[in-house]
Amino acid sequence: MNISKHSLAKVKLLSDVAPESLEELSNNCRWREFKTDEVVLDRNNVSREVYFITDGSVRVMNFIGKDREVTLAEIKKGAHFGELAAIGSPERTARVVALEKTIVAAMSRDYFISMLLKFPEVSLRLLRDLAYVISSMNERVATLSVTAPRQRVYLELLRLAVPDPRGRGDWVIEPLPKHDELAAWAGVDVEEVAHAIGKLAREKVLERQNRTLVIHDRAKMHEMSGM
Each residue of 143-193: pLDDT tens digit?
777 788 899 899 989 989 999 888 778 999 988 888 988 888 888 888 999
Task: Report whether pLDDT(2) > 70.
Answer: no
The overall average pLDDT reported for the chain is 88
Residue 16 is predicted with a pLDDT of 94
Task: Give the start-to-end residue ranges of the domains of the chain.
Answer: 3-146, 149-225
What is the average per-residue pLDDT within 215-224? 91
pTM of the model: 0.72
Strands of the 68-76 sheet, one edge to the other:
39-41, 95-98, 57-64, 68-76
d(CA 182, CA 147): 16
What is the fold of 3-146?
Jelly Rolls (2.60.120)
pLDDT in tens, 35-80: 999 999 988 788 899 999 999 999 998 876 666 778 888 999 999 9
Does the pLDDT value for residue 226 go beyond 90?
A: no
> Would you identify the CATH topology of the domain 149-225?
Arc Repressor Mutant, subunit A (1.10.10)
3-class secondary structure, 93: coil
| Dihedral over Cα of 44, 184, 139, 67: its sign | negative
CA dist 57 and 65 (Å) reads 26
Strand ranges inside 48-115, DSSP E: 50-55, 57-64, 68-76, 80-81, 95-98, 102-107
DSSP reduced 3-state for 200: helix
